[in-house]
Amino acid sequence: MFNTISMIGLGYIGLPTATLFASRKKKVIGVDVSKHAVDTINQGRIHIVEPELDMLVHAAVSEGYLRATLTPEPAEAFLIAVPTPFKDGHKPDLSYIESAAKAIAPVLAKGNLVVLESTSPVGATEQMAAWLAEARPDLSFPPQAGEDADVQVAHCPERVLPGHVVRELVSNDRVIGGMTRKASEMAVGLYKTFVEGECIVTNARTAEMCKLTENSFRDVNIAFANELSMICDKLDINVWELIALANRHPRVNILQPGAGVGGHCIAVDPWFIVDTTPEEARIVRMAREVNDHKPEWVLDKVKAAIADALAIKPGRTMADIKVACLGLAFKPDIDDLRESPAVEITKQVTQLGCQVLAVEPNIEALPPKLNQSNLSLTELAVAIPAADVVCVLVKHRPFVEAVERIRAHCNAIDAVGLFA
């Protein structure tokens, strides 16, 4: 049905998705605003960390099925996978979707399918269709034109785990929300190119809400664990032991606490529900507030540990103190720093005036957000003996392997259960 597919956005979701289509011998034109990303992909390499993806991209580019560009070109199906962050006041920012819609509009043709993959607030797919219709008055779009629209529009959110994206894109079920029956049928045909899971059809609004619901459910459960960790700390109870004991109940499955909640999905998506239905989304809002507060709680622990370090050796100043922050990614064993609580905690520690040794084995350079004169990216073997305070913010595999060395530090804070 579709021989030429365009993927708008070549990030953590867009590039693996484009590559899987290409691996099935489909011609894929990837589009991204980053020249670095485009050039890297065209060299058969990847600009992100994701297991298995490097080999697939190399093969797809070498065989001529995947090509990246800065400017959209004609295709039969267009998939949009661009960021959907929020603005001040946790208001959804749809500017990236709007830009993507206006970018592809000039090359759209009758019979095309446009799929919004970006996690979005309810109504975003309809808004995208309106932007497309405004940009191309010579073509008809749903809902006005219905089944007979020249260009069909659908929403199909991803539901994958970073570090396992390639496998889960293939094996997981997909929710297909077409604005029309025909759009859903076309989208199912498109995704069945590589999806082995079931493609379940609904409408666009339900598909949008489904992704928000999945991530809000996880956020609420994480908030319970994070709140429990703070309660246990006040009551001098080992929260990791407590959770292990409670989870022996056949109907209890408490998650593990952490330094907060990060990533582009769970830390963002629940706010879309709160923004749309502020009076009704009370638990969802509270969970977000609990998880957003956890980094502040960890920071207070770091401040207390620094005070202890200063007390041990009188005469030293804050500028003499070295704090090792272990981990910057939002979850273990990936390089994704988006909305990472570890990044925010590390940034706040630098503002205390001490020297900060950041240890993140999955990146080669610090992001601009952490471009501070008193912050350096350091190897674990160097940071541990040099630090006055060690704070474990992410449970990366190299830290697990070095747990005894980290645990032996006299002033260590474990925010993720590394020592459990």
Supply the pLDDT for residue 49: 82
Supply the pLDDT for residue 163: 85
Q: Angle at the Cα of 262 (from 257 to 265), degrees rounded to 5?
A: 120
Q: Taking residues 148-159, what's their average pLDDT?
A: 96
Question: Residue 204: CA atoms inside 13 Å, Cβ hemisphere, count?
Answer: 28
Supply the pLDDT for residue 93: 96
Pairing of strands 91-92, 66-69: unpaired
Give 29-77 pLDDT, tens digit per residue: 999 999 999 999 999 999 988 989 999 999 999 999 999 999 999 999 9
Q: How far is 281 from 85, CA to CA, in rounded Å?
A: 19
Q: Angle at the Cα of 258 (from 215 to 261), degrees rounded to 5?
A: 35
Residues in the chain, total: 420
Per-residue pLDDT band at 313 (split at 50, 70, 90)? confident
Judged against a pLDDT cut of 80, whether residue 150 lies above it is answered with yes
SS3 per-residue string spanning 70-114? CCCCCCCEEEECCCCCEEHHHEECCHHHHHHHHHHHHHCCCCCEE
Which residues neighbour 231 within 8 Å (Cβ) at sequence distance 6 or greater? none
Q: How far is 255 from 352, CA to CA, in rounded Å?
A: 32
Q: Taking residues 300-313, what's their average pLDDT?
A: 95
Query: In this structure, are residues 58 and 96 in contact, taking their beta carbons and an 8 Å threshold?
Result: no
Give 223-246 pLDDT, tens digit per residue: 999 999 999 999 999 999 999 999
Residue 66, judged by CB atoms within 10 A of its CB (0-12, 13-18, 19+), counts as buried
Query: In this structure, are residues 194 and 171 in contact, taking their beta carbons and an 8 Å threshold?
Result: no
Please state which of the ranges 257-271, 286-300, 393-407 shows the lowest mean pLDDT: 257-271
Supply the pLDDT for residue 383: 97
Q: Taking residues 101-124, what's their average pLDDT?
A: 97
**What tokens appear for 256 in the block?**
């593990």
Mean pLDDT of the chain: 96
Supply the pLDDT for residue 180: 98
Supply the pLDDT for residue 264: 79
Judged against a pLDDT cut of 90, whether residue 168 lies above it is answered with yes
Per-residue pLDDT band at 161 (split at 50, 70, 90)? confident
With H, G, I as helix, E, B as strand and everything else as coil, classify residue 29: strand
Q: Taking residues 247-267, what's their average pLDDT?
A: 95
- Cα separations in angstroms, 392 against 172, 295, 303, 413, 419: 32, 12, 14, 6, 10
Per-residue pLDDT band at 4 (split at 50, 70, 90)? very high
Judged against a pLDDT cut of 80, whether residue 1 lies above it is answered with no
Q: Taking residues 208-218, what's their average pLDDT?
A: 97
Judged against a pLDDT cut of 90, whether residue 191 lies above it is answered with yes
- What are the residue numbers of the active site? 211, 265
Nearest to 387 by CA among 408, 401, 417: 408
Question: For helices 269-276 and 282-312, what crossing angle results, to 10°?
Answer: 130
Domains of the chain: 4-197 (3.40.50.720), 247-414 (3.40.50.720)
Supply the pLDDT for residue 201: 98
Supply the pLDDT for residue 12: 93
Supply the pLDDT for residue 115: 98
